[in-house]
Structure 1
Amino acid sequence: MLRAERGSAQGDLTVLVEPVPGEPAAVADCGTERALVVADYHAGIEAGLRYERGVELRSDADGRRERLRALGDRVSPDRVVVLGDLVHRIGDPGEGEHDEVAALLDALPAPLTLVPGNHDGGVADAYDRIEVVDSGGLRLGDVGFVHGHTWPDRAVLGAETVCMGHEHPQVRLEDEVGGGRAEKAWLRGRLSPDPFADHLGVVPESLGWTTPELVVFPAFNDRSGGTWINADGQTFLSPFLPDGLADDAEAYLLDGTRLGAYRRV
């Protein structure tokens, strides 16, 4: 199973971020509270796909809500953190999208905190029950949270583990006869200070870098596509990837299968 861990003075390990087996979700130990963390919920995606591409799909709003509600019941979090793109359509949420989010808030067992993504421009004004933080991210204890479409705040980079979404990572797996399939994946590795120092216009040594670990979350939404992290010529969406990620970063399937270094999968 994929785990982001820290060492104590006694040398034992305490789990900071532990994915829920088989699910695109994790539980984060934030010190004084536990958070259920997901990324890229994309409420109202069916209406968005109809508008953007002329694709007609029956809404899976009830299914998405039930999956997240069940996860909340399963892990009993103090809060639910969404790593951006809670909604799909950029700008003010449409009526169907608004209804989906309102029903989701009613169903969740804990308050929802949103680290806004590039699709969440109208959320803060539309939903007074959602805590919307700055787009530079949020730090709770030793865990940082960002969407990934912008550069993280320095405070977030000071966390031991940084969780992000935005990329919707997937891997393409092939069998012996050339058949292939794409599966959601976790991407995990140490962050390199160089691109962050370049962005800030400082030397890397001035960052006081503690080599935080980055955990890139698979998308919660099953219809949102993704970045094939092991495809030749694949480009990332985030401004600090892949340069900000160590070459030995690894990919994992949702069931915990370790695929090894993502560049060589």
Structure 2
Amino acid sequence: MAPAASPAVEPVVGEPAAVADLGSERALLVADVHAGIEVGLRYERGVELDSRADERRERLCALIAETDADRVVVLGDLAHRIAAPEGDEREELVELIRTVTDRVPITLVEGNHDAGVAEAFVADLDVIGAGGDVLGDSVGVVHGHTWPDPALLDADVVCMGHEHPQVRLEDAVGGSRVERAWLRGTLDPGAFVEEDGNERDRSDPPELVVFPAFNERSGGTWVNVDGQSFLAPFLPDALPAGDAYLLDGTRLGDYRRV
């Protein structure tokens, strides 16, 4: 069974993606595409990997068709390189953005890797700033690398990326594997924003959904391994209780005790 995050946001079983009902539109939400990661790993770490650019692009387009989406919303880090994209990475982004926007518009919620790509492709993308925004009447979107706009507390559900949550699972004979995971639970408003000058009713806070990375090569936060720390300034405090789910919908229980 897929994680029942919210009536407005439904994960796609088996995929690091969800569908959001925005009222007038049906949106496909993904986080942390990190296009050009193979180029980045080459210059950052000297690691040579075959490019999966075509595979990533085809997967995203297949999900658009499968979900009958009217729009793609990327919850930050569409690109891997923090600076302006160039060379092979820029070529990958050009082809990815062109192919997707031939089908549906793209909204990019600016992540910590996106300053260069947002500027380079400003004519092709609808860009939401790093503080996030509320889409439709109820779906908050933010990357998560900085303190969010307090207005997100008025949403029914807040969707974020940045963390790339993963779990390490062990079998009976001592083997282990790492899998991408969803995290979800009730958001603690007091820990989610740095300052909120408005008086808000906090008796019914939104749900927080932390998306797995779309790019399986991008690493992430092992939420059930001692010594791992979260990347977002508001986590784990803003998610004091929540469940972890695998991509196939398997519920693992309290993410802190998996």
RMSD: 1.3
Identity within the alignment, % = 63
SS in 2 for 1:207: coil
Q: Residue 227 of structure 2 aligns to which amino acid in structure 1?
A: G
For 1:238, the equivalent position in structure 2 comes to: 232
- How far the C-alpha of 1:95 sits from its partner, in A, is 2.0
In 2, Cα distance between the equivalents of 1:178 and 1:211? 40
Aligned pair partner of 1:189 in 181, 185, 200: 185
In 2, Cα distance between the equivalents of 1:97 and 1:3? 36
SS in 2 for 1:122: helix
In 2, Cα distance between the equivalents of 1:201 and 1:188? 23
> 1:115 aligned to 2:116?
no
Aligned pair partner of 1:103 in 95, 99, 103: 95
- Aligned positions, number: 252
- How far the C-alpha of 1:201 sits from its partner, in A, is 6.4
Q: Residue 178 of structure 1 aligns to which amino acid in structure 2?
A: G
Q: Residue 254 of structure 1 aligns to which amino acid in structure 2?
A: L
* Alpha-carbon contact 1:31-1:142 (below 8 Å) kept: no
In 2, Cα distance between the equivalents of 1:64 and 1:139? 27
Aligned pair partner of 2:70 in 78, 90, 112: 78
SS in 1 for 2:115: coil
Deviation readout 1:106-128 (Å, 9 max, x if unpaired): 22221000001000011222112
Deviation readout 1:102-150 (Å, 9 max, x if unpaired): 2112222210000010000112221120111111102112001000001
In 2, Cα distance between the equivalents of 1:81 and 1:71? 12
TM-score norm. by structure 2 comes to 0.94
SS in 2 for 1:152: coil
In 2, Cα distance between the equivalents of 1:75 and 1:188? 22
In 2, Cα distance between the equivalents of 1:88 and 1:39? 12
For 1:136, the equivalent position in structure 2 comes to: 131
- How far the C-alpha of 1:100 sits from its partner, in A, is 1.1
* Alpha-carbon contact 1:115-1:134 (below 8 Å) kept: yes
Q: Which moved more, 1:101-110 or 1:16-25?
A: 101-110
Q: Residue 187 of structure 1 aligns to which amino acid in structure 2?
A: L
SS in 1 for 2:199: helix
Q: Residue 251 of structure 1 aligns to which amino acid in structure 2?
A: A
For 2:208, the equivalent position in structure 1 comes to: 214
In 2, Cα distance between the equivalents of 1:4 and 1:157? 16
In 2, Cα distance between the equivalents of 1:161 and 1:212? 5
* Alpha-carbon contact 2:30-2:74 (below 8 Å) kept: yes
> 1:60 aligned to 2:55?
no
Structure 2: segments with no counterpart, 5+ residues: none
In 1, Cα distance between the equivalents of 2:252 and 2:191? 26
Q: For 1:132-171, list aligned pairs within 5 A.
A: 132-140=127-135, 141-171=137-167
In 2, Cα distance between the equivalents of 1:196 and 1:145? 13
Q: Residue 55 of structure 2 aligns to which amino acid in structure 1?
A: G
* Alpha-carbon contact 2:167-2:224 (below 8 Å) kept: yes
For 2:251, the equivalent position in structure 1 comes to: 258
Structure 1: segments with no counterpart, 5+ residues: 6-14
* Alpha-carbon contact 2:150-2:196 (below 8 Å) kept: no
Deviation readout 1:183-241 (Å, 9 max, x if unpaired): 000000111122246x2166xx9332231100000000011001001111221000000
Q: Residue 181 of structure 1 aligns to which amino acid in structure 2?
A: R
